Amino acid sequence: MAGPDLWFTDQATPGLRTSFGVASVLYQGRSAYQDIQVMELHDCGRCLVMDGKVQSAERDEFIYHEALVHPALIAHPRPRSVFIAGGGEGATLREALRHRTVRRAVMVELDPEAVRVCRELLPSWSAGAFEDPRTDLRYGDARRYLEQTPERYDVIILDISDPLEGGPAYRLFTREFYQLVAERLEPSGLVAVQAGAASLIDQPVFPAVVNTLAAVFPQVVAYQAHVPSFGSPWGFATASLQAAGRRAPWAWSPRAVDRRVSARVETPLRFYDGTTHQALFALPKYLREALAQERRQIADDAPLFMP
Amino acid sequence: MAGPDLWFTDQATPGLRTSFGVASVLYQGRSAYQDIQVMELHDCGRCLVMDGKVQSAERDEFIYHEALVHPALIAHPRPRSVFIAGGGEGATLREALRHRTVRRAVMVELDPEAVRVCRELLPSWSAGAFEDPRTDLRYGDARRYLEQTPERYDVIILDISDPLEGGPAYRLFTREFYQLVAERLEPSGLVAVQAGAASLIDQPVFPAVVNTLAAVFPQVVAYQAHVPSFGSPWGFATASLQAAGRRAPWAWSPRAVDRRVSARVETPLRFYDGTTHQALFALPKYLREALAQERRQIADDAPLFMP
Amino acid sequence: MAGPDLWFTDQATPGLRTSFGVASVLYQGRSAYQDIQVMELHDCGRCLVMDGKVQSAERDEFIYHEALVHPALIAHPRPRSVFIAGGGEGATLREALRHRTVRRAVMVELDPEAVRVCRELLPSWSAGAFEDPRTDLRYGDARRYLEQTPERYDVIILDISDPLEGGPAYRLFTREFYQLVAERLEPSGLVAVQAGAASLIDQPVFPAVVNTLAAVFPQVVAYQAHVPSFGSPWGFATASLQAAGRRAPWAWSPRAVDRRVSARVETPLRFYDGTTHQALFALPKYLREALAQERRQIADDAPLFMP
Amino acid sequence: MAGPDLWFTDQATPGLRTSFGVASVLYQGRSAYQDIQVMELHDCGRCLVMDGKVQSAERDEFIYHEALVHPALIAHPRPRSVFIAGGGEGATLREALRHRTVRRAVMVELDPEAVRVCRELLPSWSAGAFEDPRTDLRYGDARRYLEQTPERYDVIILDISDPLEGGPAYRLFTREFYQLVAERLEPSGLVAVQAGAASLIDQPVFPAVVNTLAAVFPQVVAYQAHVPSFGSPWGFATASLQAAGRRAPWAWSPRAVDRRVSARVETPLRFYDGTTHQALFALPKYLREALAQERRQIADDAPLFMP
All partners of chain A with 3 or more CB pairs under 8 angstroms: B, D
Which of D63, D201, D279 is opposite residue C279, by nearest beta carbon? D279
pLDDT tens track for D103-131: 999 999 999 999 999 999 999 999 999 99
CA C99 to chain B, closest CA, distance in angstroms equals: 38
- Residue A169 has a pLDDT of 87
pLDDT tens track for D203-250: 789 999 999 999 999 999 999 999 988 888 999 999 999 887 767 899
- Residue C287 has a pLDDT of 93
Q: Which of D1, D6, D27, D161 should be substituted to probe chain A, the one whose Cβ sees the most A Cβ atoms within 10 Å?
A: D6
Please state whether beta strands D35-41 and D232-240 pair in parallel, antiparallel, or not at all (unpaired): unpaired
**Residues of B with Cβ-Cβ distance to C24 under 8 angstroms:** 25, 28
E strand or H helix that includes residue D301 = none
Active site amino acids of D: 159
Q: Is the ipTM of this complex over 0.95?
A: no
CA B230 to chain A, closest CA, distance in angstroms equals: 10
What is the per-residue DSSP string for C182-201?
Answer: HHTEEEEEEEEEEEEE--SS
Tell me how far apart the alpha carbons of residues A159 and C142 are, in angstroms, rounded to a whole number. Answer: 60
Cα distances from A169 to residues A306, C124, C183, in angstroms, run 11, 58, 61
What is the per-residue DSSP string for B175-224?
Answer: HHHHHHHHHTEEEEEEEEEEEEE--SS--SSHHHHHHHHHTT-SEEEEEE
Task: Note whether C37 contacts B8, CB cutoff 8 Å.
Answer: no
**Residues of C with Cβ-Cβ distance to D201 under 8 angstroms:** 43-44, 59-60, 228-229
Average pLDDT estimate for A175-196: 97
E strand or H helix that includes residue C111 = none
Which amino acid, residue D297?
Q
Task: Note whether C6 contacts B2, CB cutoff 8 Å.
Answer: no
pLDDT tens track for B172-226: 999 999 999 999 999 999 999 999 999 887 778 999 999 999 999 999 999 999 9
**Residues of B with Cβ-Cβ distance to A282 under 8 angstroms:** 254, 275-276, 278-279, 282
**Residues of A with Cβ-Cβ distance to B21 under 8 angstroms:** 14-16
Q: What is the mean pLDDT of chain A?
A: 93
Average pLDDT estimate for A145-159: 98
- Residue B1 has a pLDDT of 39
Pick the catalytic residue from C159, C258, C273, C301. Answer: C159
- Residue C1 has a pLDDT of 39
**Residues of B with Cβ-Cβ distance to C25 under 8 angstroms:** 6, 24-25, 28
Which of A9, A24, A25 is opposite residue D7, by nearest beta carbon? A9
* Torsion, CA A288, CA A293, CA A299, CA A301, rounded to 10: -150
Which of B8, B11, B51 is opposite residue C6, by nearest beta carbon? B8
- Residue D167 has a pLDDT of 74
- Residue D248 has a pLDDT of 87
- Residue D11 has a pLDDT of 85
Average pLDDT estimate for A138-152: 97
- Residue A199 has a pLDDT of 83
Closest CA to D2 of A203, C50, C204, A9: A9
Task: Note whether A199 contacts B225, CB cutoff 8 Å.
Answer: no
Please state whether beta strands C232-240 and C185-197 pair in parallel, antiparallel, or not at all (unpaired): antiparallel
Dihedral sign, Cα of residue B164, residue B167, residue B168, residue B174? positive
CA C159 to chain B, closest CA, distance in angstroms equals: 21
Helix axes A206-214, A285-293, angle to 10 degrees: 60
Q: Which of C13, C199, C226 should be substituted to probe chain D, the one whose Cβ sees the most D Cβ atoms within 10 Å?
A: C226
Task: Note whether B42 contacts A270, CB cutoff 8 Å.
Answer: no
Which of C1, C19, C52 is opposite residue B51, by nearest beta carbon? C1
Which amino acid, residue A270?
R
Task: Note whether A19 contacts B14, CB cutoff 8 Å.
Answer: no
pLDDT above 70: residue B2? no
CA D140 to chain A, closest CA, distance in angstroms equals: 25
Reported as a pLDDT band with limits 50, 70 and 90, residue B163 is: confident
pLDDT above 90: residue C12? no
Tell me how far apart the alpha carbons of residues A155 and A75 are, in angstroms, rounded to a whole number. Answer: 10
CA A65 to chain D, closest CA, distance in angstroms equals: 24
Which of D9, D25, D28 is opposite residue A7, by nearest beta carbon? D9
pLDDT tens track for D29-68: 999 999 999 999 998 999 999 988 899 999 999 999 999 9
Pick the catalytic residue from B159, B162, B273, B301. Answer: B159
- Residue C167 has a pLDDT of 74
In the DSSP assignment, the letter for residue D5 is: S
pTM of the predicted structure, to 2 decimals: 0.89
Task: Note whether D7 contacts A10, CB cutoff 8 Å.
Answer: no
- Residue D140 has a pLDDT of 96
**Residues of C with Cβ-Cβ distance to B10 under 8 angstroms:** 5
Secondary structure in 3-state letters for A141-158: CHHHHHHHCCCCEEEEEE
pLDDT above 60: residue D26? yes
Instruction: Give the domains, in start order, of chain C with CATH numbers.
Output: 7-56 (2.30.140.10), 61-293 (3.40.50.150)
- Residue D231 has a pLDDT of 81
User: Which of C76-96 are b and which e, b meaning 16 or more Cβ less than 10 Å from the residue's Cβ?
Assistant: beebbbbbbbbbbbbbbbbbb
- Residue C296 has a pLDDT of 93
Task: For chain D, list the strands marked E by DSSP.
Answer: 6-13, 16-30, 35-41, 45-50, 53-57, 81-86, 104-109, 135-139, 153-159, 185-197, 219-227, 232-240
Tell me how far apart the alpha carbons of residues B34 and B299 are, in angstroms, rounded to a whole number. Answer: 23
Task: Note whether A278 contacts B275, CB cutoff 8 Å.
Answer: no
pLDDT above 50: residue B126? yes
Task: Tally C-beta pairs within 8 A across A and D.
Answer: 46
Which of A4, A7, A283 is opposite residue B279, by nearest beta carbon? A283
- Residue D1 has a pLDDT of 39
Task: Note whether B282 contacts A284, CB cutoff 8 Å.
Answer: no
pLDDT above 90: residue D77? yes
Reported as a pLDDT band with limits 50, 70 and 90, residue A1 is: very low
Three-class SS state of C171: helix
Comparing alpha-carbon positions, the chain A residue that sits nearest to B14 is A3
Task: Note whether C275 contacts D288, CB cutoff 8 Å.
Answer: yes
Residues of C at the B interface, defined by Cβ within 8 angstroms: 1-2, 5-11, 19, 22, 24-25, 28, 35, 37, 49, 51-52
Q: What is the mean pLDDT of chain B?
A: 93
Comparing alpha-carbon positions, the chain D residue that sits nearest to C16 is D20
- Residue C163 has a pLDDT of 85
Which of B2, B28, B51 is opposite residue C25, by nearest beta carbon? B28
**Residues of C with Cβ-Cβ distance to B48 under 8 angstroms:** none
Comparing alpha-carbon positions, the chain A residue that sits nearest to D166 is A1
* Torsion, CA D274, CA D279, CA D280, CA D285, rounded to 10: 150
**Residues of D with Cβ-Cβ distance to A1 under 8 angstroms:** 35, 51-52
Task: Note whether B5 contacts C5, CB cutoff 8 Å.
Answer: no
Comparing alpha-carbon positions, the chain D residue that sits nearest to A52 is D5
Q: Which of A201, A206, A270, A273 should be substituted to probe chain B, the one whose Cβ sees the most B Cβ atoms within 10 Å?
A: A201
CB atoms closer than 10 angstroms to residue C303: 14
Average pLDDT estimate for A268-272: 93
Average pLDDT estimate for C79-101: 97
pLDDT above 90: residue C40? yes
Task: Note whether A5 contacts D9, CB cutoff 8 Å.
Answer: yes
Q: Which residue has the higher pLDDT, A61 or B245?
A: A61
Q: Which of D20, D25, D39 should be substituted to probe chain A, the one whose Cβ sees the most A Cβ atoms within 10 Å?
A: D25
Which of D25, D35, D52 is opposite residue A25, by nearest beta carbon? D25
Provide φ and ψ at D28, rounded to 5°: -140, 130
pLDDT tens track for C143-189: 999 999 999 999 999 999 888 777 778 999 999 999 999 999 999 99
State percent of chain D over pLDDT 90: 80
